[in-house]
Amino acid sequence: MDKHTKTKSNHNTEILNRIKEKYGFSLRFIRMSLAGNRKSEMSDMVKKDYEIMHNAVTKLLKTL
């Protein structure tokens, strides 16, 4: 039997650092929130902010 392993997701480090500066959370908490390991209002805000920033960056890169 094969064991199920988690794949490491790659997040934009610049966005992670911006969220860290904005809220003062550790990078570990931010990564765990994005992975779904944390369930709280703040982790939901982190997810929402990451999605907004990520979409803005990808939109900007598509225009270049």
Residue 12: name the closest of 44, 59, 51 by CA: 51
Q: 3: left (phi > 0), else alpha (psi -120 to 50), else beta?
A: beta
Query: How far apart, in Å, are the Cα atoms of 50 and each of 2, 30, 47, 56?
Result: 33, 9, 5, 10
3 or 29, which is more confident:
29
pLDDT at 18: 96
pLDDT at 29: 95
Confidence of residue 1 (pLDDT cuts 50, 70, 90): low
DSSP 8-state class, residue 59: H
The residues spanned by each domain of the chain are 13-63
pLDDT digit string (tens) for 18-60? Answer: 999 999 999 999 999 999 998 999 999 999 999 999 999 999 9
Tokens of 27: 């990078």
